Amino acid sequence: MKYNPHEIEPKWQKYWDKNNIFKVLKEPSKEKYYLLEMFPYPSGKIHMGHVRNYTIGDVVARYKRMCGKNVLHPMGWDAFGMPAENAAIENKIHPATWTNDNIQAMKSQLKRMGFSYDWDREISTCHPDYYRWEQLIFLKMYECGLAYRKKTQVNWCEKCQTVLANEQVEEGCCWRHTNDEVSIKEMDSWFLKITDYAEEILEFCDKLPGWPERVLTMQRNW
């Protein structure tokens, strides 16, 4: 029998959805396993980079379930920030409308890929019921003197109208569009006083067996 993805994939995806196959339940007798890929920016449609990353994550999630572990494999949307706002401006549409429309479109695409997410645990960083907790954590850190503000030099992308991390500057240009040169700009910025925990963080790097040395070096230097 020839494999027909247009018939077989929708059939089983419908079955999975109807029977809550990937719903995560509290099962104390099973070993817990948490798996999270980076949430996508909902500023367009998914591309092959998304497909690659989320396929790798889904393979791991399914393997760990087969090993008898209770796997929490959530999905959400990194919906705040300049990428979504700039895309909305470019397309002459309100950012909230643009973002929500893209979330629905990308969610449909991810479902068609058959990824094993528990969609009951879906989050979006632009929803108040999510970011209110981020705001609370920040305020608590500020009250404890761990968040502070000062002037500093930053990498500035004029096209994105935002600050870039050093890792996002590639050969002097923005990682999103390599023809735009990044400038150095002085501005007020918020900082978190992680230096108070530097030794503890560095010691923890030695407790990550199997991590690539390149990644550990990046963590230590960060």
Can you give the pLDDT at residue 201?
A: 87
**What integer pLDDT is reported at residue 177 of this predicted model?**
76
What does the alpha-carbon distance between residue 145 and residue 192 come to, in Å, rounded to a whole number? 9
Identify the pLDDT of residue 50: 94
178 and 169 Cβ atoms separated by less than 8 Å: no
- Closest by CA to 100, choosing from 43, 49, 39, is 43
Mean pLDDT of the chain: 91
Q: What is the pLDDT of residues 96-116, one digit of tens each?
A: 999 999 999 999 999 999 999
Radius of gyration of the chain (CA): 21
Q: Which pLDDT value is given to residue 210?
A: 86
Set out the domains of the chain in order of their start, with CATH numbers: 15-126 (3.40.50.620), 129-196 (2.170.220.10)
Q: How many CB atoms lie within 10 A of CB 60?
A: 15
- Given a cut of 70, the residues of the chain with pLDDT beneath it are none
Tens of pLDDT, residue by residue over 4-37, are 988 999 999 999 999 999 999 999 999 999 999 9
For residues 13 and 114, is the Cβ–Cβ distance under 8 A? yes
**CA 185, chain centre distance (Å):** 27
